A and B are shown apart, each in its own frame.
Chain A
């Protein structure tokens, strides 16, 4: 009796021997694996490049306006870790009395602090000086025209609030 070659496909066309079948199947598996692997990588890259939604911000309580003396400042840490210097520079009782500035020097990223006696923000790393509104007036930040970042403030029912980015909930 003649040996009938085993065929994984219906015997419609040419019979396929085992070696050809395995070689084709592994070739398809390999191509599918490559497409799936690098395809996933490509999809992730696309997702990475697509702009994220703007960072969520929230109005958070800072201090009682009545207890915040003129000429003083406090250091505030936002939920995302940024430190903010908030200073009271007026006595009108309105929100214009206050200023909230990023404590990160735009020059090399050192910590800036408020010097009440000199009426300025000062960066000790390279003697960067900022006026009470955060504008750079001397030192490397002034040469580069980099001022301190500002945060919005508001007063509600005698309480001071700041709008800061909140930590992403992931």
Chain B
């Protein structure tokens, strides 16, 4: 019995069935590069899993060892600086790609009926990415990451009713203590990756069930076929995108490697505490308003983002502003950019 027949008997899948399963017709507009922004965070997520597993071989999540183990990875372990820098830059690019992907979906109205549920899944993926970013930075245990975590926990305690519960759950006590880091580590390295993997699976499954939103561009000839094959055409596109990302990550990691600030000092509060860039908008918003109002309004904004497909449907049904979401989106994007730049340029 040949190997093919042996395998066929144990894995009763034919080549035709495999082709049928993987060869989804892809609408032509996906040849335009900005529609590859959904695959980009997925690729970067795989980079994060691989580099994260590598870093976990040396990282020790306890206050007495965390900083030294990061220092060991950065200064001593062979290529440790490279893997740490790739992990950091892939996180930065992943958050940027997720935001750009969400903007693309928003401005092309791809969240509208019947794709509301996938928008909700996407929102969960955005929050998972941000939580992973927050907890990941806190693991370095340098001065700014320690105080960033402390400030973050204090902000969550401003939430009415459940605030203190949330803070205690995050810190594993009333204040930052020797059990805090292992909590943040488990959230970062176990809960978020598992949750994100599951959500990505659901996200893609829903896309496969409904198909990608069909868009037609004016400059396309009418007689051109509307679809091309996933395999090999779109797969090649994805491979090229992956290689370009790897080159970009390697270049960024080499030219601007991840640095290590002074060790966390629980006794001395730094004069300027800043979170990572992707929280600048939140941080500036929180500084503009008093504690409880700030977190409640922030919660309301996140809730509105979740509910947007339904809010948009209501606006389109009840008013004559059919494209109101585009203008609301433009205002929101400008506000996000404005608050981020504002936080970036001022010292306090």
Chain A interfacial positions (CB closer than 8 Å to B): 30, 33-34, 37-38, 41, 44-45, 47-50, 52, 55, 104-110, 124-126, 140, 144, 146, 168
B38-66: contact bitstring with A at CB < 8 Å (1 yes, 0 no)?
00000000000010001001000001100
The answer to whether A109 touches B78 (Cβ under 8 A) is no
Q: Which of B75, B141, B236 contacts A168 (CB 8 A)?
A: B75
The answer to whether B267 touches A33 (Cβ under 8 A) is no
Query: Within the assembled complex, what's the spacing in Å between the Cα atoms of A113 and B274?
Result: 31
The answer to whether B267 touches A48 (Cβ under 8 A) is no
B3-11, B79-87, B131-139, B278-286: which one contacts chain A? B79-87
Name B51's closest neighbour in chain A (CB-CB).
Answer: A45
Contact A44 B64, CB 8 Å, known A34-B243, A108-B266, A110-B267? no
The answer to whether A48 touches B266 (Cβ under 8 A) is no
* B276 CB-CB contact with A under 8 Å: no
19 contacts between A and B (CB under 8 A): A30-B239, A33-B243, A37-B246, A38-B246, A45-B50, A48-B78, A48-B79, A48-B80, A52-B78, A107-B64, A107-B178, A109-B64, A109-B67, A109-B263, A109-B264, A110-B267, A125-B266, A126-B266, A140-B177
Contact A108 B264, CB 8 Å, known A33-B243, A47-B78? yes
The answer to whether A144 touches B178 (Cβ under 8 A) is yes
Query: Within the assembled complex, what's the spacing in Å between the Cα atoms of A48 and B73?
Result: 9
Give the chain A neighbours of B63 by CB distance below 8 A. Answer: 107-109
Say how far B236's CB is from chain A's closest CB, in angstroms.
Answer: 8
Name B180's closest neighbour in chain A (CB-CB).
Answer: A108
Give the chain A neighbours of B76 by CB distance below 8 A. Answer: 52, 55, 168
Give the chain A neighbours of B264 by CB distance below 8 A. Answer: 108-109
Say how far B51's CB is from chain A's closest CB, in angstroms.
Answer: 9
The answer to whether B243 touches A37 (Cβ under 8 A) is yes
Give the chain B neighbours of A168 by CB distance below 8 A. Answer: 75-76
* B233 CB-CB contact with A under 8 Å: no
Q: Which of A48, A107, A125, A144 contacts B83 (CB 8 A)?
A: A48
User: B-side binding surface: helix, strand, loop or mixed?
Assistant: loop
* B265 CB-CB contact with A under 8 Å: yes
The list of the 9 closest CB pairs from A to B, nearest first, reads A108-B63, A106-B64, A44-B79, A47-B78, A48-B79, A125-B266, A108-B266, A125-B267, A48-B78
The answer to whether A108 touches B64 (Cβ under 8 A) is yes
Q: Which of B282-339 contact A (CB under 8 A)?
A: none
Name A42's closest neighbour in chain B (CB-CB).
Answer: B50
* B341 CB-CB contact with A under 8 Å: no
* B77 CB-CB contact with A under 8 Å: yes
Query: Within the assembled complex, what's the spacing in Å between the Cα atoms of A109 and B265?
Result: 7
Query: Within the assembled complex, what's the spacing in Å between the Cα atoms of A109 and B264?
Result: 8
Query: Within the assembled complex, what's the spacing in Å between the Cα atoms of A154 and B64?
Result: 27
Query: Within the assembled complex, what's the spacing in Å between the Cα atoms of A106 and B265?
Result: 13
Q: Which of B50, B54, B64, B239 contacts A146 (CB 8 A)?
A: B64
Contact A34 B64, CB 8 Å, known A45-B83, A109-B263, A168-B75? no
Name A143's closest neighbour in chain B (CB-CB).
Answer: B178
The answer to whether A50 touches B78 (Cβ under 8 A) is yes
Name B264's closest neighbour in chain A (CB-CB).
Answer: A109
Say how far B323's CB is from chain A's closest CB, in angstroms.
Answer: 42
Name B57's closest neighbour in chain A (CB-CB).
Answer: A49
Say how far A109's CB is from chain B's closest CB, in angstroms.
Answer: 6
Say how far B239's CB is from chain A's closest CB, in angstroms.
Answer: 7
B235-278: contact bitstring with A at CB < 8 Å (1 yes, 0 no)?
01001000100100000000000000001111100000000000
Q: Which of B62-116 contact A (CB under 8 A)?
A: 63-64, 67, 75-80, 82-83
Query: Within the assembled complex, what's the spacing in Å between the Cα atoms of A110 and B64?
Result: 9
Name A50's closest neighbour in chain B (CB-CB).
Answer: B78
Query: Within the assembled complex, what's the spacing in Å between the Cα atoms of A5 and B50?
Result: 48
Q: Which of A34, A49, A125, A144 contacts B54 (CB 8 A)?
A: A49
Contact A47 B64, CB 8 Å, known A37-B246, A140-B178, A144-B178? no
Name B236's closest neighbour in chain A (CB-CB).
Answer: A30
Most chain A beta-carbon neighbours within 10 Å: one of B79, B82, B83 = B79
Say how far B78's CB is from chain A's closest CB, in angstroms.
Answer: 5
Say how far A114's CB is from chain B's closest CB, in angstroms.
Answer: 18
Give the chain B neighbours of A34 by CB distance below 8 A. Answer: 239, 243
Say how far A139's CB is from chain B's closest CB, in angstroms.
Answer: 12
Give the chain B neighbours of A107 by CB distance below 8 A. Answer: 63-64, 178
Query: Within the assembled complex, what's the spacing in Å between the Cα atoms of A38 and B13?
Result: 29
B199-212: contact bitstring with A at CB < 8 Å (1 yes, 0 no)?
00000000000000
The answer to whether B267 touches A124 (Cβ under 8 A) is yes
Query: Within the assembled complex, what's the spacing in Å between the Cα atoms of A157 and B177?
Result: 46
